[in-house]
Amino acid sequence: MMSLTLRWMTGLLALLVTASPGLLRAAEDAAAPLAGGAVDMSLEDLLNVEITSAARKSQRLNDVAAAVYVITRDDIERSGATSIPEALRLAPGVNVARLANDRWAVSVRGFNSRFSNKLLVLMDGRSMYSQLFSGVLWEVEDTLLEDIERIEVVRGPGAAMWGANAVNGVINIITRRARDTQGSLLVAGAGSEESAFASFRHGMPVGDGHLRVWGKAFARDESLTPQGHTANDDWRAGRAGFRGDWTMGGGHRLTVSGQAYYGATDDTWLVPDIRSRSGVAPTDVRQRTQGGFLMARDEWTLSDGSEAALQAYVSSGELEIPGAVRERRTTVDLDFQHRLLLGERHDLIWGLGYRYSRDDISSAGMINIQPQRQGFSLASAFIQDEITLVPDTLRVLLGLRLEDNSFSGFAPQPNARVIWTPTENQSLWASASRAVRIPSRAELGAEVDGAVVPAGSPGNPTRLPILVRTVPPNQDLENETVTGYEIGYRRQFGPALSADVALFYMIYDDLTGPVMGPPPRFVPAPPPPHLLQTVSVDNNLKAHTHGIEIAVDWYPLPWWRIQPIYSYLDLRASAKTGDPASLTRAQGYNDGDPQHQWSLRSSMSLTERQQFDFWLRHVGKLGTSGSPLYVPAYTTLDLRYAWRPTRDFELSLVGQNLLDGQHPESVASLLPSRNLEIQRGYYLKARWQF
C-alpha cells in the first residue's frame, strides 16, 4: 500500500508542476547569488539568527543559555554533503561515523553506535526517534537538502523542553517556508560513490499562502571490505513531499506538510551459526523501508497578546529484513504550547503533549521479539519561566517536564539555566539539568542469538560450541538518567571574528548493560549439540563524561570565511558489579568515541560566479590497538568547486575523502554487520533554478 501511496504522490507532484506553466518564474529570492540560492551571512547576521529549539521560542543566538550551533543552508551547500548525517559533521561535539554507504552512527557527547539512544532528532518539531531501537534510522529519515533552512544542534540535556531521550542533545532540522521556495528547481548529478541522484521542487501561490511540492531519488554504490573487496551495501531510495503555509482568519498561521518514501539497502550479516567452525555464517540481507507522515501546525496570537501553537502528526512506516524482522508502526502525536508575558520580568511557556504508537512485529531466525503487537503511550506536561533579574543583562530560566510512559512509568526532568549578557555581542551562561532515556521495545522484549563461541577457541575450552543468546530482562528496566552541568561563553570580537566555547560534566546512572545468566546448559537439539549461555539486560552500568567544544568563525577577507572547530570528550564507564558481560559493555562504551575531533573549513567566493571550498577533518582513534573495537585515527579532505555560467544554472564538482583510498570510521554494533571502509569519491552536480 505504501508503494502505491508513493506512486500516487509522485504522480500528483508531477501533475502540479506541468499544470502550472504560468508560475514557473521564481520570486526574487530564486535569483540569489551562488551557494544554493543562499546569500552569504555576516557574523552579525549569524549571531542574530533566530533559534527556536533551545527554549521552544525565537531567540537570538547570543541570547540562548545553551550550547547551540547553527548549520545554515549555505553551510550545507558549500560542504558538499549529500545527506543529513554528513551535514551534522559541521557542528562541534557531534560524532558522525559512516558504517557503510547506507548506514551511519550519529551521537552528541558520546555513546555512539548504530542506534545512538541518547540523542533526540526532530524535523520541524516532529520526532524521528525509533521506539523499536531507541535511536534514529538515518537511512529512513531524509528530506530535500535544498529545502533545509537550518539545523539547530543543541548539545547537552534538553528534556525539560523536549522530553525523554533528549539526554545528550537535541537536533532540530528546520525546513524553509513555502513562500521562500517559489518557482522551480531541478538538481541532477552522478559520481563514483553517488552513482546517480536527481530531485525537483516547484513552489506556487495557493490562496492566502504558498505551497511547494518536491521529489528526490538516488542510488549509491557499494563500499569496500578491509581486504579491498566490494561490499554489499548499495542503496536505492526515493521520496516525495509537500509543504504549505497559509495565513488564516483570526491571525492563525497554518502549516501542513507530508512525505512518502521507499528505500532498499543491502547488507551482509555474520549470523551466529553453531554448525560453522568459525561460529558465523555470512548471509546477504536486504532491508526495505516504506512509509509516510502527515503533519499540521497552527500558530496564533490570543486577544491578551500571548502566543499559542498546536501541532499534530500521524506517521506510518514499515521496516522489513526478510528472514529476520518486519516492523509495522503507526504513531499519533499531539503537542500544545502557550507562551505569555507576566509583567515585565516573566516570560512563561507551558505545554501538554501526548503520543501513542502501535506496532506489529514479526521476527524469525536469530531474532524473536515478543509480544508481536504492543502499544506505547507517553503523556507529558512542561513549564518554563524565564525571569529577568536585570533588564537586557541577567536572566534565569527554570523549567520542569513531567512525563509518564507505558514502558517505564513516571519521570520528572528539571532544568535551571542562567545567562549574563554584559554587552550585545557577548554572553556567559551556565546550566544544570536532568534527563532520562526510556527503554526500547527491543530491550524489553527481544530474544537475539548474539554470538557463537566455537569449541576449543579462547573462552571456550569445551568440546561443544557455546551459543550466546540475549533474552528479555526478568524484571522491569528503569529509565537511564543523566545529570548535566554546563558552562559556556560566546563573543563577537569585531565584524570579522567570533568564538563560542562550552564546557560540560555529565553523570550517568542506571545505564543498561548485559548480565550473564546461569552457567551454560546442554542443548541436544537443534543439532549439532551445543551449550546455551543466556544474557539478560539490566540497569547495571554508570558513567561520567567531561569535555570542551570550541567553534570559531573568522572572515580574514570579505570574500573568505574560515571556520575551525574542536571537540574533546573523556568518557569513563564502569559496571556496578563484577559481571564479565557488564565489564565488557563498559569497556565498549569507553572505546566507542574519539577523544579528539577537529575540522577546518574554508569558503572562498573567488568571483561573483565561482566558489572554492575545502574541508579538512580529523577524528581520533577508537579503542586500543588489538582490541576488536579499535579504529585508527583518520584525517580526510573534501574539496568543492562551483561555477555558475548563467544566472540560474550552477555546476559543482565535489571530491570527498581525498587523503586515502579507503578508511574505517567505526565498527558494526547491535546488528551483526561486517566492518566496512569508506572510499574516496567524486561527483558532479548540476543545479537549475527558474
Within 10 angstroms of residue 144's Cβ, the number of other Cβ atoms is 22
Q: What is the pLDDT of residue 46?
A: 66
- Write the CATH number for 445: 2.40.170.20
* pLDDT tier for residue 439 given thresholds of 50, 70 and 90: very high
Q: Cβ distance 132 to 441 under 8 Å?
A: yes
With a cut of 80, say whether residue 15 has pLDDT above it. no
Mean pLDDT of the chain: 91
Report DSSP state, residue 664: -
Grid cell for residue 31: 535569483
pLDDT of residue 629: 87
| Number of separate helices (H) and strands (E) present in the chain | 7, 37
**Distance separating alpha carbons of residues 348 and 350, to the nearest angstrom:** 7
Using alpha carbons, select from 268, 106, 116, 113 the residue that is nearest to residue 676.
268
Strand-strand pairing, 521-523 and 530-557: antiparallel
Phi, psi of 623 (to 5 degrees): 70, -165
What's the pLDDT at 232? 93
Q: In this predicted model, what pLDDT tens digit does every residue of 21-42 receive, in sequence order? A: 332 233 333 333 343 333 366 6
* Residues 324/288, Cβ–Cβ less than 8 Å: no
Three state DSSP letters for 201-213: EEEEEECCEEEEE
Q: Rounded mean pLDDT of 576-586?
A: 95
CB 438 within 8 A of CB 165: yes
pLDDT at position 233, please?
94
The mean pLDDT value for 231-238 works out to 95
**Angle at CA of residue 345, ends 341 and 351, nearest 5°:** 40
pTM given for the model: 0.92
* Sequence-ordered list of residues with C-beta below 8 angstroms from that of 623, at least 6 positions apart, any chain: 591, 592, 629, 630, 631
Dihedral sign (CA 456, 461, 463, 468): negative
- Read off the pLDDT band of 470 (50, 70, 90): very high
Rounded mean pLDDT of 457-476?
91
Tell me the per-residue pLDDT of 473-495, one tens digit each, with 9 for 90 and over: 988 899 999 999 999 999 999 98
Q: Which three three-digit cell numbers place residue 525?
A: 537439539
Stretch 519-527: mean pLDDT: 91
Q: Which of these, 318, 322, 217, 319, lies nearest to 1 by C-alpha position?
A: 318
Name residue 361's amino acid.
I
Longest dimension (CA), the chain: 80
- Whole-angstrom Cα distance, residue 386 to residue 338? 14
- Cβ contacts of 153 within 8 Å, gap of 6 or more: 68, 69, 70, 71, 88, 91, 93, 94, 108, 169, 171
Cis peptide bond N-terminal to 524, omega within 30: no
pLDDT of residue 249: 84
Least confident of 45-49, 193-197, 668-672: 45-49
Contacts of 511 (CB under 8 A, 6+ apart): 480, 539, 540, 541, 542, 543, 573, 589
Average of pLDDT values for 564-587? Answer: 96
Residue among 39, 151, 130 at smallest CA distance from 87: 151
> What is the mean pLDDT of the segment spanning 355-370?
95
Confidence of residue 189 (pLDDT cuts 50, 70, 90): very high
Residue 289, amino acid: T
- 427: nearest Cα among 31, 164, 94, 67: 67
Separation CA 70–CA 53 (nearest Å)? 11
The predicted pLDDT at position 628 comes to 85
Arithmetic mean of pLDDT, 573-578 = 96
What digits encode the pLDDT tens for the residues 542-555? 999 999 999 999 99
d(CA 665, CA 635): 11
Average pLDDT for 356-360:
97
Domain of 267?
Answer: 2-689
What pLDDT score does 299 carry?
Answer: 96
**514-521 average pLDDT score:** 94
Question: Given the C-alpha cell 541436544, which residue does it identify?
Answer: 524
Please tell me the distance from the alpha carbon of residue 417 to that of residue 387, in angstroms, as a whole number. Answer: 10
Q: What is the pLDDT of residue 551?
A: 98
Q: Are 185 and 159 in contact (CB under 8 A)?
A: no
Neighbours of 277 (CB within 10 A): 11
What mean pLDDT is predicted for residues 366-392?
Answer: 96
- C-alpha torsion angle, residues 508, 509, 512, 516 (rounded to 10): 120
Asked if residue 232 lies in contact with residue 225, where contact means CB atoms within 8 angstroms, the answer is no
Amino acid at 440: S
All 3 cell numbers of residue 456?
576449543
Which segments of 620-648 are extended strands (E)? Answer: 634-643
What type of residue is 546?
A: H
By the 10 Å C-beta count (0-12 exposed, 13-18 middle, 19+ buried), 51 is classed as buried
Nearest to 312 by CA among 329, 333, 327, 292: 333
pLDDT at 43: 66
Task: Quick: pLDDT tens for 264-293.
Answer: 999 999 999 999 999 999 999 999 999 999
Question: What single DSSP character describes residue 224?
Answer: B
Contact at 8 Å (CB) between 668 and 632? no
Position 434 scores a pLDDT of 97
In the chain, the percentage of residues whose pLDDT exceeds 90 is: 84
**N residues, the chain:** 690
Average pLDDT over residues 619-624: 94
How far apart CA 383 and CA 400 sit, in angstroms, is 6
Q: Is 207 left (phi over 0), alpha (psi -120 to 50) or beta?
A: left
Among residues 176, 210, 201, which one has the least CA distance to residue 72? 176
Q: Which of 63, 60, 61 is nearest to 421 (CA)?
A: 63
User: Tens digits of per-residue pLDDT, 64-114?
Assistant: 999 999 999 999 999 999 999 999 999 999 999 999 999 999 999 999 998
In DSSP terms, 522 is beta-bridged to: 531
Q: Please tell me whether residue 111 adopts helix, strand or coil conformation.
A: coil
Amino acid at 402: L
Contact 258, 293 (CB under 8 A): yes
CA distance 602 to 640: 10
Distance CA 17, CA 38 (A): 23
Distances in whole angstroms, Cα of residue 211 to Cα of each of 5, 36, 174, 177, 292: 20, 20, 16, 9, 19
Grid coordinates representing 40? 552569504
Predicted local confidence at residue 419, as pLDDT: 98
Handedness of CA 93, 94, 99, 105 (dihedral sign): positive
Does residue 151 carry a pLDDT above 60? yes
CA–CA separation, 651 vs 74, rounded Å?
Answer: 16
User: How many whole angstroms separate alpha carbon 114 and alpha carbon 669?
Assistant: 6
- Say how many domains are in the chain: 1
